[in-house]
Amino acid sequence: MNSVISMKCSHYDVSLVRERLEEALQQLGGIEKFMKPGSKVFLKVNLLTGKKPEEAVTTHPVVVEALAGLLVEAGMQVIIGDSPAGPFLPGRMKQIYGLTGMKSAAEKAGAILNENMNVVKAVHPEALRLKEFEYLEAVQQADHVISLCKMKTHSMTLMTGAVKNLFGTMPGLTKAALHFRFSNIEDFSHAMIDICEYTKPVLSVMDGIEAMEGAGPSAGDVIRRNVLLVSPDPYQLDVIACRWMGIDPDQVPLVRVAAGRQLFIGGKEPIDWQGAEPDVERDRPFKTPLIHEPDFLKRYHSFPLLGNVAETFSNRYLRPQPRVLEASCVGCRECYVICPADAIDMKQERPSFDLQKCIRCFCCQEICPEKAIVIHQSAFLKLFHP
């Protein structure tokens, strides 16, 4: 059985969230169906960067506390962790755990925060792109992993949910390097799915009470959807999350690639979905970033000369572009450090982008603490957007 359970939940009250999660887990057969008491469980939360819970960038600590509490009471040893964007270092993690509310959530639930910074090599011969990769030892050592993600739009992958959340099982800046290695969205989606297939989360839970729309995953706006989603299947959960966000799942590259790899047990449609449904009258669709480059110029890219012209035109007018809001930038250089394509130069303490080198991964926007990087969409791009 691979059901997705959706539970209405209107606010971040720990008793309410706990009650809803417990009910969802009961409908799926109870926690004991997925793990035995005494198991070591890694709760892979989304801690993209050090933001306060109300900014909806990270998994809300009340949801973390409620789920961790249920697991601890069922006899599990619970470790809460993630490898955020940027360097994976003890001091930085301590700061992020404090800012995002994870420290207090772990204390109240009787869980522990991951302090193991060791990295191991994951070997995954069945993978289609990532047969070997760096991986967090703490995740490797767990008996089970739960993907405890946040409902958000994403400037590169359109939406981020249970599958993309597992990218944070790779340490620090290796994630940015992976963007460079798989700069094509199809390849990148395969790589994300390889990580998901290697991790094999026993459960996925999405915090969609407050979500993010627009320039996600870190620079968008908060939008309420008042829902918690729970499923043993991360792929199906992401499809149902799309419904709640008002996004066509077929527009999401990760969903398309997962469907092509036949990872939806019983097919992508219809999904066995139980519980609350979005109110399409009341809940308008999320504002989404434009992630598509129109295809018609791509066919010229392989031609000499014409290819260069097409690519230059495409880079300038048909692909989304990172731009800096000079007044907001504080010159911290975090964007410069994370850029995997060496496409950023710091000029007078402000980033300057080389659009020919830029692979449109938008790691720079993700990591910017000041929301000083915006994704510019030309009138041409908007014209050709599907």
Residue 327 Cβ vs ligand SF4, minimum distance, rounded to whole Å:
11
CB of 168 or CB of 351, closer to ligand SF4: 351
Tokens read off for 279: 């109110």
For ligand SF4, give the closer residue by CB, 221 or 370: 370
State the Cα–Cα distance between residues 374 and 245, nearest whole angstrom.
22
Q: How far apart are CA 160 and CA 223, in angstroms?
A: 15
Q: Please, which residue, 278 or 322, has the CB nearer to ligand SF4?
A: 322
- Residue number with CB closer to ligand SF4 (42 or 182): 182
* Minimum gap (Å) between residue 178 Cβ and ligand SF4: 12
Question: Tokens at residue 114, please?
Answer: 């991951």
CB of 83 to ligand SF4, least distance (A): 17
Q: Which is nearer to ligand SF4, 147 or 218 (CB)?
A: 218
Smaller CB separation from ligand SF4, 84 or 232: 84
- Residue (of 46, 40, 53, 166) closest to 104 by Cα position: 53
Shortest separation between residue 80's beta carbon and ligand SF4, angstroms: 27
User: Nearest Cα to 229, choosing from 287, 159, 147?
Assistant: 147
CB of residue 154 vs ligand SF4: minimum separation in angstroms? 13
**Nearer CB in complex with ligand SF4: 151/339:** 339
Q: How far is the CB of 99 from ligand SF4 (least distance, A)?
A: 17
Nearer to ligand SF4, 120 or 329 (CB): 329
Shortest Cβ 175–ligand SF4 spacing (Å): 11
3-state helix/strand/coil string of the chain? CCCEEEEECCCCCHHHHHHHHHHHHHHCCCHHHCCCCCCEEEEEECCCCCCCHHHCCCCCHHHHHHHHHHHHHCCCEEEEECCCCCCCCHHHHHHHHHHCCHHHHHHHHCCEECCCCCEEEEECCCCCCCCEEEEEHHHHCCCEEEEEEEEEEECCCEEECCCHHHHHHCCCCHHHHHHHHCCCHHHHHHHHHHHHHHHCCCEEEEEEEEEEECCCCCCCEEEEEEEEEEECCHHHHHHHHHHHHCCCHHHCHHHHHHHHCCCCCCCCCCCCEEECCCCCCCCCCCCCCCCCCCHHHHHHCCCCCHHHHHHHHHHHHHCCEEEECCCCCCCCCHHHHHCCCCCEEEECCEEEECCCCCCCCCHHHHHCCCCCEEEECCHHHHHHCC
Closer of 69 and 86 to ligand SF4 (Cβ): 86
Q: How far is the CB of 309 from ligand SF4 (least distance, A)?
A: 21
Enumerate the β-bridge partners of residue 159: 153
Q: Which residues bind ligand SF4 (CB under 6 A)?
A: 322, 324, 329-335, 339, 341, 343-344, 351, 353, 358-364, 368, 370, 372-373
Provide the minimum distance between the beta carbon of 315 and ligand SF4 in the complex, in angstroms, as a whole number: 11
Nearer to ligand SF4, 204 or 218 (CB): 218
In the complex, the smallest distance separating the C-beta of residue 334 from ligand SF4, rounded to whole angstroms, is: 4
